[in-house]
Structure 1
Amino acid sequence: MTETGYQANPDNFCYRHPDRQSFVLCQRCLRTICPECQTPLPVGVICPECLAEQQKQQSAQHKATVTRMPRRRASGRAATSGTPVVTYAIMGVTVFSYLLGLIPGGFGNLVQVWLAFNGQLAYTQPWRLVTVTLVHASIWHIALNMLALWALGRSLEPLLGRGRFLALYLLSAVGGSVLTALLAPNQWVVGASGAVWGLLGAMFVIGRHIGANVTAIAVLLGLNLLITFLPGSGIAWQAHIGGGLVGALIGFIFARTRAIRQQRTQFWLLVAVAAGLLALLALPVFLYR
């Protein structure tokens, strides 16, 4: 789809705010709605028109319950304002962990050794598959990763929703760790680059699916790939490639299971990705025992 076709397709934009792109559908009418138009329900989100229709059909007791909903939503406006809460939370935890690593007297080194990734330790200490994202080698290392996370998260998290975004980030991190364990089992790895590459891969695939112009993302991926393989860069390319591939796969899953009726399918596909990564991690145990 061309850029003109993308802009002309109303399915890619909120039906009440045509200038706002979104990736979330109303659970009843399946129209695209932006964060401002979403009202959370136990089984998804609903648009204002469907909410009004639902309120008319409810009994008097249910109506009394619904009348209290606006006050709860007003106190938690950040939940529907599109604020990338998960992105900011990940950034906060990562920076806090980095600051802990700077504490002198051996404690900082202990924190880094406890959280960093090594393929041989992944089988007995599996938390390292994810906690590797919390350890960074220098101030520039964490600054660049957090800048990329901030830039990508502000676009992806409101588009996907908090749960999907968190699943994408964590599974991408695991993907980078698994490929590192398979190809460089003795190598110590630190940093959130694998997870960030996963966000890039997902954004590229989703952008292609909805017809957006992904040239800038493709160029950014190409430049990062070039830097990754520069001689003497000291970059764990396995983590980058593994995270990027898993992120692209999850982005494809999200793009193909967008409808509300496909939410269960989407959940089980994500479970299958997680199970597949763990199976790959266990592969050397069966090959070399």
Structure 2
Amino acid sequence: MTDPSTVEAPPTCYRHPDRATYVSCQRCGRPICPECSTQAAVGVHCPECVREGRAAGGGGLARALRPRRSGAVTYTLMGLIVVAYALQWISGGGLTSAWVLNPTVVGAEPWRLITSAFLHSPGTIIHILFNLYALYAFGPALESFLGRSRYLALYFSAALGGSLGVLALYALAIATNGASVEATGGFLAPGSALGASGAIFGLMGAYLPLRRAIGVNVMQLLIVLGINVALGFVAPNIAWEGHLGGLLVGAAIGWVYLRTRRPAQRRVQVLGVAGIAAGLLVLFVLFVASAPVFYGL
């Protein structure tokens, strides 16, 4: 039996303390009940934030063009991705070769686990445009809700998780001496990978446990997520295993954030996220140590 004294009470609306709610204002993070919430482009806003937005003035177009208050990290990441893409072209493929996630050399060059998340296919601009749009669509609201440091921890841990997903397929081929590739008609064939998709799937994964707190329509999120997951399995040259790795890591970190959202749980939260990142690094070391010659050592 459960001791009632140990059951965590649900948060209550800051304007109506007698009303339990799991929905928070997308801008300030205060819990609000349906009566106090105003639907925004992403999530909902409390009455105070609505008034602040109206007091800021400007027409609809001006508000649309005004940078979001908490999107600085997202826009910086987008800028770095664009700069990296330009350098891929300027270097004649040199940067791509140096930063791409190539499993055969990643043991000696482990930075590729992260640098590959800033590269995109020079063969088609659709790859980078899709990821930039997805980052713009999902990033700012999550950054606003989590804060910059937690958002960055989520993004880079998910990027690492995506890279480990790619290496897991490579490790499976090594362990089975290629039998996994032959048995699936090449579906489980490992390869090199690049792109921010693993990190972006991590953002979408984090939305799943945090959806009620942020105020996201979960059906719309599941539709977008389902389409992207399906494309990874049916379209050629897409590292679906990287998407899956990022998604799982993002969901795990989102769950940690949800369960440790009180200020008094800050230390537990940091340790939980650090533990996930450390676990991924341990997994990488185990992959390399199991067959060092296959990883460039």
* AA partner of residue 283 (structure 2): L
Once the 2 structures are TM-superposed, how far is the Cα of residue 211 of structure 1 from its aligned partner? 6.9
1:16-165 equivalent positions in 2, closer than 5 A: 19=38, 82-103=69-90, 107-137=91-121, 138-165=124-151
Once the 2 structures are TM-superposed, how far is the Cα of residue 283 of structure 1 from its aligned partner? 2.0
Secondary structure of 1:120's counterpart equals: coil
CA distance in 2, matches of 1:134, 1:19: 36
* Structure-2-length-normalised TM-score: 0.69
Matched, 1:12 2:21: no
Determine the structure 1 residue equivalent to 2:205: 201
Determine the structure 2 residue equivalent to 1:54: none
Contact 1:172 1:198 in 2 (8 A): yes
Runs (5+) with no aligned partner, structure 2 = 1-9, 11-18, 53-67, 172-189, 293-297
Matched, 1:189 2:193: yes
Once the 2 structures are TM-superposed, how far is the Cα of residue 20 of structure 1 from its aligned partner? 8.2
CA distance in 2, matches of 1:123, 1:145: 27
Once the 2 structures are TM-superposed, how far is the Cα of residue 125 of structure 1 from its aligned partner? 1.2
Secondary structure of 1:163's counterpart equals: helix
Contact 1:119 1:182 in 2 (8 A): no
Contact 2:23 2:214 in 1 (8 A): no
Contact 2:23 2:213 in 1 (8 A): no
* Greater length-normalized contact order (CA 8 Å, ≥ 6 residues apart): 2
Closer/same/farther in 2, CA of residues 215 and 116 from structure 1, 3 Å limit: same
CA distance in 1, matches of 2:140, 2:214: 18
Closer/same/farther in 2, CA of residues 11 and 193 from structure 1, 3 Å limit: closer
The one of 215, 218, 233 aligned to 1:214 = 218
Determine the structure 2 residue equivalent to 1:52: none
CA distance in 2, matches of 1:20, 1:158: 16
Matched, 1:262 2:265: yes
Determine the structure 1 residue equivalent to 2:282: 279
Aligned identity (percent) is 38
* AA partner of residue 108 (structure 2): T
Q: Which moved more, 1:177-186 or 1:166-175?
A: 177-186
Once the 2 structures are TM-superposed, how far is the Cα of residue 15 of structure 1 from its aligned partner? 6.6
* AA partner of residue 240 (structure 1): H
* Structure-1-length-normalised TM-score: 0.71
The one of 235, 238, 243 aligned to 1:240 = 243
Runs (5+) with no aligned partner, structure 1 = 2-6, 24-32, 38-80
Deviations 1:227-278 (A, max 9, x none): 1100x52101111000000000011011111000111111111111111001
Once the 2 structures are TM-superposed, how far is the Cα of residue 188 of structure 1 from its aligned partner? 1.1
Secondary structure of 1:108's counterpart equals: coil
Closer/same/farther in 2, CA of residues 140 and 167 from structure 1, 3 Å limit: same
CA distance in 1, matches of 2:104, 2:288: 11
Deviations 1:36-89 (A, max 9, x none): 99xxxxxxxxxxxxxxxxxxxxxxxxxxxxxxxxxxxxxxxxxxx733000000
Closer/same/farther in 2, CA of residues 192 and 244 from structure 1, 3 Å limit: same
* AA partner of residue 271 (structure 1): A
CA distance in 2, matches of 1:210, 1:89: 22
Closer/same/farther in 2, CA of residues 85 and 20 from structure 1, 3 Å limit: farther
CA distance in 2, matches of 1:194, 1:109: 22
Deviations 1:76-109 (A, max 9, x none): xxxxx73300000000011001011111xxx231
